[in-house]
């Protein structure tokens, strides 16, 4: 069969929270020449999100996606290739965070958090980047906690983190962090004791490396902090609504063809936040 002429957008982990709002906004902004996909690891939670979105006046499509499962990621890739011949927008939103009062051992928190937020995001990229069409836009949900982690790192580690790093070096860094978490030597390596923060350092460094390496015509990759948002992840403590949180991700997902910047950047409230040690850094 001939591939559909529709353009296609995929948002990972979009059955709730910021991803849900990103889907809604993309549907509203992109219109009828686009197929926008809610993806969820759980089919029932995905179906529930679809009916909530329908009540809100939009009708995205659905595909199952568990970013921790290679088989699930491969199935989505094959489906997109067969149905649309590629992909135009990818928002890597799915992520996890242990609660501050979790009693899970730090080694476990490090392994599990880095596995989903870093390795599984990378797994999605590895499977879907070959499908990206000209002018494709990719957005990773990162966080200002990456700035916080950088500012709390040792001077030696800060120096290393702020120099251009290849994707292989970033992978090594993340493996090393988990190994050290298991050995109880994270702080000796200059890291702050934060699994989530380091996972987002990994996402940020991944963004920088991918933006340097990516092949293709006008493919733009950025990451961003959505701000402190009222979701399950934050136990509903964040002041921003999911729609406010979706603003910068949607802005980056819909950057017009041929833009010169931002490319390979981390943004907060639509502004580039340089990757640099800031002695007066304040968490936003």
- Give the helix/strand (H/E) hosting 98: none
In angstroms, what is the minimal distance from the CB of 168 to ligand NDP? 23
Exactly one of 6, 233, 272, 277 binds ligand NDP (CB under 6 A); which one? 233
C-alpha dihedral (113, 109, 239, 139), degrees to nearest 10: -10
Residue nearest to ligand NDP (CB): 17
- Select from 15-23, 75-83, 160-168, 252-260 the region that touches ligand NDP (CB under 6 A): 15-23
Residue 76, interface with ligand NDP (CB under 6 A)? no
Please say if 208 is a catalytic residue. no
Contacts of 64 (CB under 8 A, 6+ apart): 39, 40, 41, 43, 46, 72, 75, 76
- Whole-number Å distance between alpha carbons of 284 and 275: 15
* Near ligand NDP in 124-163, by CB under 6 A: 141, 143
- The reply to whether omega before 267 is within 30° of 0 (cis) is no
Residue 41 sits in the site that holds ligand NDP (CB under 6 A): yes
Query: Applying CB under 6 A, does 264 fall inside the site for ligand NDP?
Result: no
Q: What is the nearest approach in angstroms of ligand NDP to the Cβ of residue 74?
A: 14
- Closest approach of Cβ 243 to ligand NDP, in Å? 12
Least distance in angstroms from the C-beta of 120 to ligand NDP: 6
Interface with ligand NDP includes 228 (CB under 6 A)? yes
Q: Using the rule CB under 6 A, is 253 a contact of ligand NDP?
A: no
- Site stretch for ligand NDP (CB under 6 A), options 24-32, 105-113, 228-236, 274-282: 228-236
Q: What angle do CA 120, 266, 203 make, to 5 degrees?
A: 20
Of the candidates 93, 138, 101, 98, the residue with the CA atom closest to the CA atom of residue 120: 93
| Total Cβ atoms within 10 A of residue 250 | 23
Q: Quick one: CA torsion of 168, 111, 263, 143, rounded to 10 degrees?
A: -150
Q: Tokens 């069409």 belong to which residue? A: 133
Does residue 13 touch ligand NDP according to CB under 6 A? Answer: yes
The reply to whether 62 sits near ligand NDP by the rule CB under 6 A is no
Are 50 and 58 a contacting pair, CB within 8 Å?
A: no
Q: Which of 37, 196, 208, 251 is catalytic?
A: 196
- 46 vs 262, which CB is nearer to ligand NDP? 46
**Tokens standing for residue 214:** 């990516």
Active site residues: 196
Binding site for ligand NDP (CB under 6 A): 12-13, 15-19, 40-42, 45, 65-68, 93-96, 116, 120, 141, 143, 225-226, 228-229, 231-234, 238
């Amino acid at each position: 069969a001939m591939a559909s002429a529709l353009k296609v957008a995929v948002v990972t982990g979009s059955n709730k929270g910021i991803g849900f709002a990103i889907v809604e906004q993309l549907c509203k902004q992109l219109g009828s020449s686009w197929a926008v996909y809610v993806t969820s690891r759980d089919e029932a939670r995905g179906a529930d999100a679809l009916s909530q979105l329908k009540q809100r006046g939009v009708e995205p499509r659905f595909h199952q996606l568990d970013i921790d499962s290679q088989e699930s990621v491969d199935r989505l890739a094959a489906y997109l290739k067969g149905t649309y011949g590629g992909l135009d927008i990818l928002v890597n939103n799915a992520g996890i965070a242990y609660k501050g009062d979790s009693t899970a051992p730090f080694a476990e928190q490090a392994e599990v958090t880095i596995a989903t937020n870093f390795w599984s995001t990378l797994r999605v990229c590895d499977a879907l980047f070959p499908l990206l069409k000209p002018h494709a836009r990719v957005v990773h949900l990162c966080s200002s906690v990456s700035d916080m982690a950088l500012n709390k790192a040792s001077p030696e580690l800060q120096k290393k983190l702020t120099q251009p790093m290849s994707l292989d070096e970033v992978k090594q860094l993340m493996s090393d962090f988990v190994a050290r978490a298991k050995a109880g030597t994270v702080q000796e390596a200059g890291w702050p004791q934060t699994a989530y923060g380091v996972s987002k350092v990994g996402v940020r460094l991944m963004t920088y490396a991918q933006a340097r390496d990516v092949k293709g015509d006008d493919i733009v990759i950025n990451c961003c902090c959505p701000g402190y948002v009222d979701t399950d992840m934050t136990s509903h403590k964040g002041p921003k609504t999911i729609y406010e949180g979706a603003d910068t991700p949607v802005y980056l997902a819909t950057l017009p063809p041929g833009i010169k910047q931002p490319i390979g950047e981390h943004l907060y409230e639509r502004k580039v936040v340089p990757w640099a040690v800031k002695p007066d850094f304040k968490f936003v």
